[in-house]
Amino acid sequence: MALNRIIQPLEAINEKVGQAISWLTLGVVLLTFVVVVLRYGFDIGWIWMQEAVTYMYAWIFMLAAGYTLKHEGHVRVDIFYRQFSSRRQAWVNLLGSVFLLFPMFIFIAWISFDYVMTSWRISEASGEAGGLAFVYLLKTSLFIMPLLVLLQGTAMILRSIDVLLNNPADATQNKQTQQSVP
C-alpha cells in the first residue's frame, strides 16, 4: 500500500502527458491535409507548415514513450512472459528495468544534455527560409523523453517490488500446478 502512494503520482505524470500529446495526432492529420491541399490544389507551400507537422510527429513519439510503456504498448517478445505467473512477470519487469531500461535511458539523457543545451544557448532555428524559429524546443524532447520513461520505469520497478513482497499466493499456486502436472 505504501508503494502505491509513490507509484500513482509517477504514473499520473505519464498519463497526463500521454493524453495531452495524443491531441497532436489530430493536429498532424489536419495540418498534413492542409499542406497536401495547398500544395497540389493551389501550388502553394510553406516550409513552416511542413516543419510543424514534423515537430508534432516527433513530439507524439518522443513524449508519449512513457505513456506507451505504462500501457504496455511497446514491442516485446512475450512468448513466455504472458504464461508466467505475476511473480515471474514482476521479476522480468524488475530485472529488465534495472539492467536494460535504466542504463539505456540514462545514457540517452546524458548524451543528449549538451546537445540540447547548445541548441538553447544559440536559440537554434530552422536552416530553411521561412522555417520555424524554435528547433531548440524540438531538441528538448530528446531530453524530456528519457526522463518520462525513467519515471515510468521507476513506477514499474516499485510495482514489481510490491508484487514480489505482497504476492506469496503465486508462489504456492505455482508449486501446486507443478506437482499436479505428470
Interatomic CA distance for residues 166 and 138, integer angstroms? 42
Q: Which amino acid is at 113?
A: F
* Crossing angle (nearest 10°) for helices 47-63 and 2-36: 160
Question: Which grid coordinates belong to 136?
Answer: 531548440
Which pLDDT value is given to residue 50?
A: 92
Is position 34 within any domain?
yes
3-class SS at 80? coil
Burial of 165 (0-12, 13-18, 19+ CB in 10 A): exposed
Is position 155 within any domain?
yes
3-class SS at 175? helix
Is position 85 within any domain?
yes
Q: Which of 146, 168, 157, 155 is nearest to 95 (CA)?
A: 157
Q: Which domain, by its residues, includes 152?
A: 2-167
Low-confidence residues of the chain: pLDDT under 70: 1, 77, 168-182
Interatomic CA distance for residues 26 and 54, integer angstroms? 13
Which pLDDT value is given to residue 130?
A: 87
For residues 9 and 161, the answer to whether their CB atoms sit within 8 Å is no
**What is the count of structural domains for the chain?**
1
Is position 118 within any domain?
yes
- Per the rule left: phi > 0, alpha: psi between -120 and 50, beta: everything else, 129 is beta
Is position 173 within any domain?
no
Is position 176 within any domain?
no
Question: Which grid coordinates belong to 74?
Answer: 511497446
Question: Which grid coordinates belong to 134?
Answer: 524554435
Which pLDDT value is given to residue 1?
A: 61
Which pLDDT value is given to residue 103?
A: 97
Which pLDDT value is given to residue 78?
A: 74
